[in-house]
Structure 1
Amino acid sequence: MSEPPYSEHSTQPLPVLRVGDPSHPADGDMFHKPGAGMPGEPADGPPEHFDGPPEQADGPPEHPAARGRRGHRFWSARRAPAVVVALLVLVVAGAFLYDIASVRTGRTGLRWRRELARQLATRPLDDSWVLVGAVIAALLGLWLVVLALTPGQRGLLPMRRPHPGVRAALRRDAAALLLRDRAMEISGVRSVRVRLRRARAHVRAVAHFREVDAVRADLDLALSDAVRGLGLTRPPALSVRVQRPRNKG
């Protein structure tokens, strides 16, 4: 007997899937065997111990484009030397231009320019005043060349660049103050004096109790960690010196 046709709005039975029927070998594979684990797990089951997420390095993540970049020193604007040189050039050029315009209009040239021309024409090259003027001009030119080729801003210590579009620097006195505060946290330290250079940090501490070697070891450990925490492109080397206070009288 044929089954009655189902209408569009009638209820239809769902197919039944028998799991684990011995008569269906394919279905027997769907049994969960002890120790077999679920799909995607190892055969011995889930791990018994979970250590948590992997540890991340201290500090912000480094941008891939910034890898290999090192922060360079900040260049000074050199406003004061530029203003001085510009004023000198303006005064000298203005005086010569005025004298040349006066001569072109039929007037007599300025006395200082005529005297200068006469002195340059009559004095020999080995004259003392000529040598002094040449030395002054050479030193002035050398000073300007040094200012043009050096960045300046010695009070700023460039920091690492975790992002390619960000540049930062740390003031040298602020870095020295931070190292001094870290050193004062060491037990047995009475006073600390820090002098921070670009390549080396000189630390002079006075210990009023504890052994000097123990205090120096603690200072080396604490200050090394503090220098790494500054995030400088060129961390300065440490030079730590510990001594006893001087006896008065």
Structure 2
Amino acid sequence: MTGQTLSQEDGAIPPEGGPVDAHQAKRNKAADRAAVRAFRPSRRAPAIVVALLLTLLGLLVAAETVSALLGNPLRLVPYDRMLGWAVSTPWSNPLFVLASMVVALLGLALLITALVPGRPRMMPVRSGDPDVIIGLRPKSVTRALAHAAEEVPGVHSAHATLRGWTVAVTPSTSGWDKERFAQEVHAAVLTRLAGLDLVEPYRVTVNVKERK
């Protein structure tokens, strides 16, 4: 099995150097950013969980505060026992250390969830206009790239999958020079990928599978 890797190169702006070209380049970059933002997946589930927890905490604090001001504290939370435990428990206590680690890990998990982008449902395509947002479904992109690989002479079938920022193409052939064959499939897939004009660059890997 032979593997090859090649990256899609971003389209370069012709080096004309005039103000019109600079304006067009700025407009293209603005359009790319708008497309990426439009199709960026939202973190709804973590946001809902955090919002509910903060709402419940706020309601609890408000209820305890109002009831204490009225002279009849609810004491839904055993503050006295918690305060006594905190005062009498040293920092080196295993239970305190474990509780601190759990809280820190939960906070870190929420932070990572908020910062790390998820897999978008649509792949943004360059339009050159910030007001025009175009996207392709990942399945449509992989199907188009697999079809491009199948157009190479000698390919019986091909399959393409999207893994992060890498498109893995697996063509099936028999009786060919695998090294040369992988390069031809690379060229065909990258040509089709460049034709799609996606905003974000993707690497392409080809693993030739010999058909028996």
- Tell me the TM-score normalised to structure 1 length: 0.62
In 2, Cα distance between equivalents of 1:241 and 1:110? 62
Instruction: Encode CA deviations 1:133-171: one digit per residue, 9 max, x unaligned.
Output: 222222232233334444444444332232232233333
Is 2:153 the counterpart of 1:195? no
SS at match of 1:67: helix
- Equivalent residue, structure 1, for 2:49: 84
Structure index of larger Rg: 1
Distance apart, 1:211 and its partner CA = 4.4
Kept after mapping to 1: 8 A contact 2:119/2:164: no
Kept after mapping to 1: 8 A contact 2:41/2:121: no
Distance apart, 1:179 and its partner CA = 0.8
Q: Aligned ranges for residues 3-82 of structure 1 at < 5 Å?
A: 65-68=23-26, 69-70=28-29, 71-72=32-33, 73-74=36-37, 75-82=40-47
Q: Which of 164, 175, 182 is residue 130 of structure 2 equivalent to?
A: 164
Kept after mapping to 2: 8 A contact 1:99/1:110: yes
Percent identity (aligned): 25
Q: Which of 104, 117, 135 is residue 69 of structure 2 equivalent to?
A: 104
Higher relative contact order (CA 8 A, sep 6+): 2
- Equivalent residue, structure 1, for 2:58: 93
Is 2:71 the counterpart of 1:113? no
Q: Between Structure 1 and Structure 2, which shows a larger proportion of helix residues?
A: 2
- Equivalent residue, structure 2, for 1:233: 199
In 1, Cα distance between equivalents of 2:190 and 2:76? 68
List, as ranges, runs of 4+ consecutive aligned residues in structure 1 with deviation greater than 4 Å.
none
Kept after mapping to 2: 8 A contact 1:228/1:235: no
How many residues in Structure 1 have an aligned counterpart in Structure 2? 184
In 2, Cα distance between equivalents of 1:174 and 1:234? 16
Kept after mapping to 2: 8 A contact 1:186/1:218: yes
Q: Amino acid of the residue matched to residue 105 of structure 1?
A: L
Q: Aligned ranges for residues 110-189 of structure 1 at < 5 Å?
A: 110=76, 112-189=78-155
Instruction: Encode CA deviations 1:62-81: one digit per residue, 9 max, x unaligned.
Output: x9644243313333332221
Structure 1 portions without partners, runs of 5+? 1-62
SS at match of 2:167: strand
Distance apart, 1:86 and its partner CA = 1.0
- Equivalent residue, structure 1, for 2:7: none
Greater CA deviation, 207-216 or 116-125? 207-216
Greater CA deviation, 229-238 or 213-222? 213-222
In 1, Cα distance between equivalents of 2:71 and 2:182? 82
When the two chains are superposed, the root-mean-square deviation of aligned CA atoms in Å is: 2.8
Structure 2 portions without partners, runs of 5+? 1-19
Instruction: Encode CA deviations 1:39-95: one digit per residue, 9 max, x unaligned.
Output: xxxxxxxxxxxxxxxxxxxxxxxx964424331333333222111111111112222
In 2, Cα distance between equivalents of 1:203 and 1:193? 6
